[in-house]
Amino acid sequence: MTAFLFTLFLTLVPTPSPAWNETNEGYYERVFIISYAIDSVTNSHRDLSFAIAVILCGESRLSPYIHAGSKLGDNGHAICLGQQHQNKRSLKEWQNLAGTDYESTRRCVKAVSETLISSYWYCNGLSNQWGWPEAMVLYGTGRTCRAEETQWKNIFKDRANKWEKYRRNNSHD
């Protein structure tokens, strides 16, 4: 699964932005760490792995500055590739989600996974027809499972389409 995730990331964000001042080699190393962290957190659960990958790309575009925590999102309230808010974490726990090393990346991915799984069960409880695409909407909005109820409907539809595409391309059924 790590190799597939690595390829998926390079499909979504093929090269580092010139603004990042990051070499291709450094970028590929970072993307491998992200891929391995997702695989280790999800135990190769493909639907969850792909949802996390789509969210990380959508929330941060894999920016090394967001990854490292030197740039925060949501007006300074969100950290790491998954743009996690502090919520019920201590300041230190929240800050420890940032970092480009494996352990920090794994903590970030684990937080994303926990939030996404919670979102999945919440949305699925509202309608048993709903799953990961709706969970990704709730993850991104914090208030609704329905993309149509947001001003970012097209962004969430795009994320759902990407998730479905990678899911189909890695089907073991």
Q: What percent of the chain has pLDDT over 70?
A: 98
pLDDT in tens, 115-151: 999 999 999 999 999 999 999 999 999 999 999 999 9
- List CB contacts of 27: < 8 A, sequence separation 6 or more: 15, 16, 20, 64
- Reported as half-sphere exposure (CB side, CA atoms, 13 A), residue 13 has a value of 26
> Could you tell me the domains of the chain?
2-169 (1.10.530.10)
Alpha helix (H) ranges present in the chain? 2-12, 24-42, 46-60, 64-68, 91-95, 102-126, 132-141, 153-169
> Is the pTM of the predicted complex or chain greater than 0.85?
yes
**How sure is the predictor about 172, in pLDDT bands with cuts at 50, 70 and 90?**
low
pLDDT in tens, 38-47: 999 999 899 9
Nearest to 41 by CA among 113, 97, 136: 113
